[in-house]
Each structure stands twice: as structure tokens, then as C-alpha cells.
Copies of this chain bind each other. A is one copy, B any other.
Amino acid sequence: MKDPIQVRFSGAGGQGLITAGIILAEAAMLEGRNVVQTQTYGPEARLGSSRAEVIISSGQIAYPEVTSPDVQVCMSPEAARKYAPKTAPGSLVVLDSTCVRDEITTTGRVARLPITQAAVDLGNKVVANAVALGVVNALAGIVSHESLVKAVVARVPRKYAELNERALTVGAELATSAAESAGAQAASS
């Protein structure tokens, strides 16, 4: 993975993005990395939006704010319009295609994946955050899948642990299929 790496989850309130940020932070901490995890609540939060950011580094973290996310996932049309365009060339922008249907212009690499639909298919929309975590981690290679599972199990209510673990796996599979189809596209062009 890139080191340090900056990660942003953005979307609507109620999608569990703060929890996703905390779980990623705790997984990285389990691996001995330094982590800063931030939620910013501003005027836009009062309109129902939500944003969680994580910086992970094997060294000291000098500036505790995400300045340019290396990987981000946008889980609402508003979040996609706000955050996807402002992104460094080569950075990774994951759009939850269940929620974001608009054309989005960005200089990042875009992956459109049906994150919320995958959670619904698992039986509960609330694990869309865990699907998103699985996607982001598989695409950016931040922590081991095992660390992510440990952090999820430690943080979510016990009765949801298994469902969340499955959601991580489904997210990782979605990411792999996206990477493969991107590879196939590149090969055929």
C-alpha cells in the first residue's frame, strides 16, 4: 500500500461511515501502524451528509488532516459531486452505483460498484459500510483481510458480527471482479 495512505468515506448520515472509519483505523492499529481518524461535522452534516477520514502511516503523522485522499468511496450523489472531482490524478474513486447514478467528472481512477445493493442482497442494508470497507481495502491493500475481520468483530454488536464479516468478503469480491474487468478492458483495447 501507499504509506502514508489517506482514505475518505463520504455519503449520507445513517450509512455507518463513521463506524467504517473507526474499524479501518482499528484494523491498521492492530497491525502496528499509526492512525488518525477524523469525522468532520459541518453545515453539510446538518443536511444529512456524513464524512469519515483515516490516515494510516508506518511513521509519525505530521498533519492530522486528509488533504488528498488516495482512495475514497462516495455513497451518495451529493458526496460524489462534492468529493469525487477534487482528487489527485491516479487516486482511486469508488462510487456506490446503487446510490450514485450521475456522470461524475474526476481525474482519479473510477470504480463503480453496487455496494448498497450487495448489502441488500446479504439481507441488510446496514452492512453497506462493511461492504464498502471490503471494497476499499481490497483495492488499496491497506490491511490484511484478517485484521479487518478482527476489527469488525471487536466493534459491531455480536449478533451482527457474522453478517458484517460476510459483507467484508463480498466487498473484497466486488473489488476483485472490478479489477478483473478493468484488466480485461485494458487487454482488449
Identify which of residues 1-57 in chain A touch chain B, using a CB-to-CB cut-off of 8 Å.
Answer: 18, 22, 25-26, 28-29, 32, 34-43, 45-46
Residues from chain B with Cβ under 8 Å of A46 in the complex: 29, 32
Interface size of A by CB at 8 A reads 22
Residues from chain B with Cβ under 8 Å of A36 in the complex: 38-41
**Does A90 count as interface, using CB distance less than 8 angstroms?**
no
Task: Please tell me which one of the listed residues B18, B29, B39, B42 contacts residue A41 in the complex, with CB atoms under 8 A apart.
Answer: B29
Cβ-defined contact, B38 with A34, below 8 A: no
Query: Which B-chain residue is minimally distant from A40 (CB atoms)?
Result: B36
The answer for the CA separation of A35 and B52 in the assembled complex, in Å, is 12
Cβ-defined contact, B34 with A42, below 8 A: yes
**Does A123 count as interface, using CB distance less than 8 angstroms?**
no
Residues from chain B with Cβ under 8 Å of A64 in the complex: 38, 40, 64-65
What's the minimum C-beta distance from A24 to chain B, rounded to whole angstroms? 11
The answer for the CA separation of A152 and B174 in the assembled complex, in Å, is 35
Cβ-defined contact, A40 with B35, below 8 A: yes
**Does A157 count as interface, using CB distance less than 8 angstroms?**
yes
Contact of A38 with B41 at beta-carbon distance under 8 Å, contacts A22-B18, A46-B29, A65-B64 already known: no
The answer for the CA separation of A84 and B69 in the assembled complex, in Å, is 34
Residues from chain B with Cβ under 8 Å of A18 in the complex: 22
What's the minimum C-beta distance from A9 to chain B, rounded to whole angstroms? 14
